[in-house]
Structure 1
């Protein structure tokens, strides 16, 4: 199923990810982690994370942008679905609120290709996630964000998200 993301973003389409899209999901995770932690060299664990948690219970959506027109003759052009470029994704799993014990949706990943950022795509995906969670009967939604990802933190705060806990780590 493909749908337009939001009225002000009609050039982008939102579609449900499938098992065939796992490689793209892993790629988006790797790009995200390289941006957050450039000193890290090995990202194989991200494939293992997706292998463990991707299921029908962890919905995945992709945002596609129209293909850039080329000089390739129309007679050999690929079908539209194959030409569209995946430029963003939203992956939702579940977590348990450690204070109340209530299971709730937890945003595993919001990714937007750097060349498409600051256009409202991440905000639209967040709003979509919230609407989806309400439609599923949930009363809260959570996420984790790296402390050095200030643009994401600011977006989440603008959308009403409040810190609940701080994850702390010490190298040994």
Structure 2
């Protein structure tokens, strides 16, 4: 069981348009004035059968008792990274998003646990992610789940 009232389903590279929408929603929450025109190219380049994708849907059956597919309200997209210290490949969370109307219900935590389980089964010794400094809610979630800051990614605009 995923989270009561919700289910997780596998995505595929065919879900590129939906993943672009979710990535835009994610980034627009923090940077509403940006257009993020680069996201379709980025997702085209990195989404593959080797970078698994899962969608969260509200669990709902139709009147006949058969599962009914609803629009996704969350997603988890994983990829690969290389540890800068020892050179080991490990899983990396490319995108984790939960619709604001469904937050604080355990979905984000369940997605992180799902990612950890997937990475362990694959033989990875760690799971990494990048989170924007302004995204304090996400930072709090990750810290609560045992993640710690390993490095600081610093940038300087060169106008």
Q: TM-score, normalised by structure 1?
A: 0.85
* Equivalent-residue separation in structure 1 for 2:89 and 2:119 (angstroms): 12
Map 1:15-164 onto structure 2 (within 5 A).
15-40=9-34, 42-66=35-59, 80-81=68-69, 84-164=70-150
Structure 1: give runs of 5+ residues left out of the alignment: none
Structure index of larger Rg:
1
* Counterpart among 14, 19, 25 of residue 8 in structure 2: 14
Q: CA deviation at 1:68?
A: 9.8
Runs (4+) of structure 1 exceeding 3 A deviation are: 66-69
Q: CA deviation at 1:10?
A: 2.5
Partner of 1:166: 152
Task: Point out the more displaced range, 155-164 or 15-24.
Answer: 15-24
Structure 2: give runs of 5+ residues left out of the alignment: none
Task: Point out the more displaced range, 60-69 or 115-124.
Answer: 60-69
Given that residues 67 and 85 in structure 1 are in contact (C-alpha distance below 8 angstroms), is that contact kept between their aligned partners in structure 2?
no
Q: TM-score, normalised by structure 2?
A: 0.92
Cα offsets for 1:11-56 (capped at 9, x unmatched): 111011023321111100001111111221x212111110000001
- Aligned pair count reads 157
3-state secondary structure, aligned to 1:169? coil
Cα offsets for 1:45-96 (capped at 9, x unmatched): 1111100000011000001114698xxxx69xxx722xx1211000000000
